[in-house]
Amino acid sequence: MTMQRRKIGRTGLEVTELGFGAAPIGNLYRAITDEQSEATVDAAWEGGIRYFDTAPHYGLGLAEQRLGAALQKRPRDGYVLSTKVGRLLVSSGESDHDQEGFDLESDLTRVRDYSAAGVRRSLDESRQRLGLDRIDIALVHDPDDHLRQAATESIPALCELRDAGEIGAVGVGMNYVQPLLELATHDYPAGVGIDVILVAGRWTLLDRTARPLLDACADRGISVIAAAPFNSGLLAGAEPPADGRFNYEPATPEVMAKAREFAAVARAAGTELPHAAMRFPLRHPAVAAALAGMQTPAEVAANVACADDLPESAWQRIEAVEPALG
C-alpha cells in the first residue's frame, strides 16, 4: 500500500500521513514478546507506514531497541525516524520494576538532562540502541519545567547537529499547548529554529485546544505531528467504551456523551468514529502526520484502514459537532 506523504517544515524530509508510535512495543502497560513487536512493525511497513517515532523513555530503551531491530531489514532511505532527547538512561545498580507505565524490570533509571552535552549524549546512545546510522528528527521531550534550557541549550545544540547533517530536523514533543507555543514562537538567534512540533492529544475530534499552536506553526512554516488522535483510546472503537479513558484519565460523563455524539454522526455520515478521529488532525494545513501507538498487527491493520481521507460531505456533518474542549 502507498500512503500519502507530507513535508516537515522547510526540510527535505517527508513523512507518511499516518505514523507509527513505538511506545506500546516498549511494553507500555503490558509486556509483549520481541516476536510480537517485530510482527507489529512489519505489519506497519506492509501497510505503507514510513514514519516511525520512538524515545529512550519508552520502556527504558526497549522501544528503541525493538524498533531498530525490526527496521534493520528495511532500506534506510525508505523511512523517516524520530526519537527524543531530555531523558538519559543511567544504571541505578539495582534492577527494579519500572514505575512509569512500562511493564518490565530494569536497572536503568531516567535522568532529565536538557543541556547541550546531554542532548548529544542522548542521540549517541539512541543510535546505539537503534543500531541505525542516523536519526532523522530529534525532538526535545517533555521540557515542561525546563523551557528556558530547552530554548537556550537543547534546541541550539540540535540545530548545530542539523546544520552539520547529523540529523534532518529539530523539534519539540509535549502534551501541553502553552509551553509548546512558547517554544514555537521564541525569538531564537539567527540560524536556530524549530522545524516540527509534536503535540499529543490536544488536536483531536474531542480536544482542539491546540488550535492557537497550530495556527502559529502554520504562520512560521513549522510542521505539526498530531499524536494520540484517539485520546487514550476513547475514540479507537466504533462506539466509545463505557469505561473509556480520555487523555489518560477516566472520561467524564460530559466527554463520554460528546464522544458518543461523534460516533453517531460519523455513522450517519457513512463512516465510523476511528476513521474520523484518525483523519481529523490532518484537516489543518500545519499537520504533517497523525501519530498513533500500535502494539499488535491487528491494531496496525485497524489504523491503516483509516488512512484514506473521507468525502467532504462527511466532514461537513462531522465538523458541525462542537468538540468537548477548545
Q: Which of 29, 51, 58, 188 is catalytic?
A: 58
* Nearby residues of 319 by Cβ (< 8 Å), 6 or more positions away: 283
Strand partners, 171: 139, 196
88: cell is 538519559
Which amino acid, residue 37? S
Phi, psi for 201 (deg, rounded to 5):
75, 5
CA distance 29 to 271: 30
Of 178, 228, 193, residue with least CA distance to 8: 193
Active site residue 176: no
Q: Containing H/E element for 196?
A: strand 196-200
CA distance 151 to 297: 39
Sign of the Cα torsion 177, 178, 183, 187 reads positive
What is the set of active-site residues? 58
